[in-house]
Amino acid sequence: MVTFSSFIIALPMIITMVILLLTIRPIEVYIFTLKSNLSLREKVFLSYIALKGLDPTILAIAVTVLVEGTAFIIPLVFGTIVFLTIIQSSIIWLLFIRKAHQV
């Protein structure tokens, strides 16, 4: 059973981890594409399609460790990752097909 007080105690650490996870991906893409001739739009797209499964998994494991009774979060996160990966893959293929027909 998750109690509100146990969640509130861990809330500052959870918020810090969320902020770090949301800022690490764009910084990572910026650093790795620094010497490339990609436009900003292409870098943002690359940041969007980059592997994202590790970030929420780390956060889910941290929440499960920090807050008692939150073991249900890990299957929920993995299900969400699989679902969003399917959606993003479909979007990428549609964009690829559209771009290929323009050429």
Domain boundaries, given as residue ranges, for the chain? 4-102
What is the crossing angle of helices 54-66 and 4-32, to 10°? 160
Range list of β-strands (E), the chain: none
pLDDT, average across residues 42-57: 72
Amino acid at the residue 81: I
Residue 91's pLDDT band, with cuts at 50, 70 and 90, is confident
Of 75, 53, 49, 55, which is closest to residue 64 (Cα–Cα)?
75
Return the pLDDT at 1.
Answer: 63
Taking the whole predicted model, whether its pTM rises above 0.75 is answered as no
- Among 81, 41, 83, which residue's Cα sits nearest to residue 60? 81
45: nearest Cα among 96, 101, 2, 102: 96
